[in-house]
A and B are shown apart, each in its own frame.
Chain A
């Protein structure tokens, strides 16, 4: 590690704030490494964003960060790397996200670990702080949410806490940037060793435990000479902690102390390391069976005692009653579900009503005007027809269509959804739905991963790491696809607007269309319960394990920042992904429409071949081909359907004069004309909405499922099960519909 010159000016707080240069993503080299640890939902990600200037999305619910995020900034002449760890209640890793956090604090060799602490729940948060202090002495505690503590009538004495813990304690409110400069100074001072700490460590255990520890410590010290806290290692080994046992077995433990990382110290011999493990096993037999309870009790008692000494409760409260009132309504046995549907419907209604005008404006601009202008220019410079066809009618139009149809609804829907998330509504949804998940034999936190899936299924699958039972996690992974994702919302909204909203007078069209989309989303949730239930009764048999979920306080969403981050993070990223896939898809469709085999194009053959199956399930060959083309990204289903419909409907091609494989669009009404000419009916619309919900996940999600499960079998199940369900449901709907319609 390069040495850091300490300039007196640099250590002044004023200088620091000014010299904080946010570097954004991780650099290759850094002078020191900060790990951010803490309980779930205490604002680690907010601190992370404040430090790095990155816009890692912060949601008001536990388990938002399941993987570690990395960023960097320059401060006082040093390059600092920051790692944001998943929230964890303790270092006794239960679920995978907790394991990530624990392993990093243990083996990631951070130069300083900043523990973010919720000032309103000091006692519970201190438990983790004390555990981290047992491992490393380079710790700074950031006492976050001081504003909320004040509102709840809690005063925390930071100076007293600092004295008790023996490490710097910085009070602040990360959302408003308060305390961040002081935190930087403290972290810098501790990381560079300018400020030494005397961390609080558990001194006395029950006599039996002390005796066993006393006999194990010398063995550890003999084998691993430089381990910073042999007492902690001894306790963990007596507790049969697998991660620590493994660290001893592999010799990694010897490198735990940061300074000898580069020194190339020799790792103890395997026999020596085994000696430590054997000694621990032998001593464990001599301990009373409730030994673990004794140690746990001791730790909690220490946390409680320190918390009590440093805080005053029951001061004037404000705002807390409002929370209760809201909760009484939002999680009420009577109003809970109706309100949930109502809120969802309002979000869609605003999206549908609001997106119409900008969508058709964009379509006029990009498709009518710019496309015409580009075609004219291509003719003027004498571009061959196949090249201008390929580039303008294939690639350009596919992209333009995706932008004009997807950008406006996404730019409205995502910020609204993000506001709900920041407000703290999602855990309430999870709570409302939990009794159903319990009946389905699934984990209560599956409701959270489901909500995540409403954004992106791949993200939802990764989010299942918060579920500690492997059986229930697998169920959550397999059924996540039943959450309608970003790529599918626009299809649902568009088709509902054209075919279902049009059934009623225009004044209520938007409302009816919104209700239809909510209906599909709710049907997806029903299918999720049904398939979870089926899985836990058959191949993934088992009972639901107990779980508890913390309901975070409502936090007023920061509207402007939410708008900014949700447009940058979600809207543009999703749009970019759609464009990236639309470009080659547009090219492929144009090529396959213009390459002839006999007297029919390649695409024509495929459509003809799939048409009988399509008609049987109330769809058509075009839609099935589109779903195959759209495996990489659901976003391009509708553009593909439109291009192919024009191709196989010669009248249309002549009418619009675009030639085969050309996409055109004149607002939603233009889309309606094309689809109706392609033989679409209300039944087709209903079925495509159902099939859009129930079909295979996109390729990114399939890959993510494979990465998370490491099992080809479960990946296949997760991929094919929804398709089978979709085909069945569409088939039944069609047959019943035709029977009723005569």
Chain B
């Protein structure tokens, strides 16, 4: 029997690659971690942007900033902020469609 190597992963390391800013429109993702200092992350948390929540970029503004759908409401973010949100893709099926 082949023994699979045990890979230890730190979720933060793994997902640091994918940021909300890189996610294509209508691709639902899960927020893993907010890469911002506490005082800047707090307003996001208060608006429902919490690790574990589902976010879906639905549109981008005339200036290229994303509007995301989260918990049924729409939130306009600046691109710089979106680039600080580490996310993970929820289902490959959605990506294919």
Query: What is the interface of chain A, defined by CB distance below 8 A to chain B?
Result: 89-90, 92, 94, 120-121, 123-124, 127, 152, 154, 292-293, 296, 300, 304, 313, 324, 327-328, 331-333, 336-337, 427, 431-432, 434-436, 438, 444, 468, 544-551, 553
Contacts and interface: CB of A to CB of B under 8 A. Distances in A.
Contacts of B59: 327-328, 331-332
A124 B77 CA distance: 17
Interface in B45-97: 45-50, 58-65, 67, 71-78, 80-81, 84
B67 A435 contact: no
B38 interface: yes
B36 interface: yes
A76 B60 CA distance: 52
Contacts of A304: 50
Which residue, of A123, A324, A332, A435, has the highest number of chain B Cβ atoms within 10 A? A435
B61 A435 contact: yes
Given A332-B59, A548-B78, 8 more contacts: A89-B43, A120-B72, A293-B38, A332-B62, A427-B76, A434-B76, A438-B65, A551-B75
Contact of A435 (B47, B48, B62): B62
B44 interface: yes
Given A336-B61, A434-B65, A436-B63, A548 B76 contact: yes
Contacts of A152: 72
Contacts of A333: 60-62, 64
B67 A548 contact: no
Given A121-B48, A293-B38, A435 B65 contact: yes
B42 interface: yes
Contacts of A553: 73
B22 interface: no
Interface residues of B, number: 33
27 contacts: A120-B72, A120-B73, A121-B48, A124-B47, A127-B46, A324-B58, A331-B61, A331-B62, A331-B67, A336-B62, A434-B65, A434-B78, A435-B61, A435-B64, A435-B65, A438-B78, A444-B76, A468-B43, A546-B78, A546-B81, A547-B43, A548-B77, A548-B78, A549-B76, A550-B73, A550-B76, A551-B74
Nearest to A436: B63
Contacts of B80: 546
Contacts of B76: 427, 431, 434, 444, 548-551
B40 interface: yes
Nearest to B77: A548
A444 B80 CA distance: 13
A545 B61 CA distance: 18
Interface of B: 36, 38-40, 42-50, 58-65, 67, 71-78, 80-81, 84
A189 to B, nearest CB: 31
Nearest to B44: A548
Contacts of A546: 36, 40, 78, 80-81, 84
A550 B44 contact: no
Contact of A89 (B47, B58, B63): B47
B92 to A, nearest CB: 22
Contacts of B39: 94
For the complex of A and B, list the 4 residue pairs with the smallest distance between their C-beta atoms, beginning with the closest: A435-B63, A89-B46, A124-B48, A551-B74
Contacts of A337: 62
Nearest to B69: A324
A300 B45 contact: yes
A434 B61 contact: yes
Contacts of B47: 89, 124, 548, 550
A109 to B, nearest CB: 25
A124 B78 contact: no
A276 B80 CA distance: 41
Contacts of A292: 38
Given A120-B72, A431-B76, A548 B49 contact: yes
Contacts of A551: 67, 73-76
Given A547-B78, A549-B75, A92 B61 contact: no
B73 A121 contact: yes
Contacts of A549: 75-76
Contact of A432 (B46, B58, B62, B75): B62
B74 A550 contact: yes
Contacts of B44: 548
B49 to A, nearest CB: 7
Contacts of A438: 63, 65, 78
Contact of A327 (B65, B74, B81): B74
Contacts of B50: 300, 304
A324 B26 CA distance: 13
A296 B45 contact: yes
Nearest to A431: B76
B61 A431 contact: yes
Given A154-B72, A331-B67, A438-B78, A548 B61 contact: no
B36 to A, nearest CB: 7
A332 B39 CA distance: 32
B82 to A, nearest CB: 10
A242 to B, nearest CB: 13
A345 to B, nearest CB: 18
B75 A550 contact: yes
Contacts of A332: 59, 62
A123 B71 contact: yes
Nearest to B52: A304
Contacts of A94: 39, 42-43
Contacts of A313: 72
Instruction: Specify which of B40, B47, B84 lies most central, judged by the most chain A CB atoms within 10 Å of its CB.
Output: B47
Contact of B46 (A124, A331, A427, A435): A124
A152 B64 CA distance: 28
A331 B59 CA distance: 8
Contacts of A154: 72
A259 B64 CA distance: 55
A740 B80 CA distance: 46
Contacts of A327: 59, 67, 74
Contacts of B38: 292-293
Nearest to B80: A546
Contacts of A427: 76
A147 B62 CA distance: 32
A342 to B, nearest CB: 15
Contacts of A293: 38
A679 to B, nearest CB: 44
A333 B73 CA distance: 21
A334 B62 CA distance: 7
Contact of B72 (A121, A127, A296, A324): A121
A321 B42 CA distance: 30
Contacts of B74: 327, 550-551
Given A432-B62, A545-B40, A547-B81, A90 B67 contact: no
A22 to B, nearest CB: 33
A706 B38 CA distance: 32
Contacts of B46: 89-90, 124, 127
A369 to B, nearest CB: 52
A62 to B, nearest CB: 10
B47 to A, nearest CB: 6
A494 B9 CA distance: 70
Contacts of A547: 43, 78, 81
Contacts of A436: 63
Contact of B63 (A92, A120, A434): A434
A327 B58 CA distance: 10
Which residue among B38, B42, B44, B63 has the maximum number of chain A CB atoms within 10 Å of its CB? Answer: B63
